[in-house]
Amino acid sequence: MAAYIMQMHENILQTHIPIRYIDVEIAYVGEGEGTDVYIGAAGNRGEVYRYLFYVSGGPKAAGNHQVVHHLDVSSEVYDLKIVSNSSTPNHLVIRIYCRSGAGELIGVLSEHQMLKLAN
């Protein structure tokens, strides 16, 4: 099982442009049959969003890649959770694309950068 929990808010990248939306990209790179992935967020006012999908294995498999677009980000802090039910280590590649209110790409958080933010 892999679980990533990070606090999200509009100034997480500390740029002069606030983040209004994120796109979360999940790719399966494991050797197994695939895994279920949960992406959800909860804040002080309850659940913000929830997605559940399946990503599968194989070098060019149609289902080994999933992008969840236009997830809202506000000034209030909320917990972003990405959880999979696979017991194989290093089975997912995760990227978060941070966008302004106009849809411009501000920055990309890789899994390595998310771990650095968590420390």
pLDDT in tens, 65-115: 899 999 999 889 999 999 998 877 778 889 999 999 999 999 998 876 766
CA pair distance 62, 59, nearest whole angstrom: 9
Backbone angles phi, psi at 77, to 5 degrees: -75, 135
Backbone angles phi, psi at 114, to 5 degrees: -65, -40
Residue 116's pLDDT band (cuts 50, 70, 90): low
In percent, the amount of the chain with pLDDT more than 90 equals 44
Which domains does the chain show, CATH number per domain? Answer: 2-117 (2.60.290)
The angle formed by the CA atoms of residues 12, 65 and 32, to the nearest 5 degrees, is: 115
Residue 63's pLDDT band (cuts 50, 70, 90): low
This prediction's pTM: 0.86
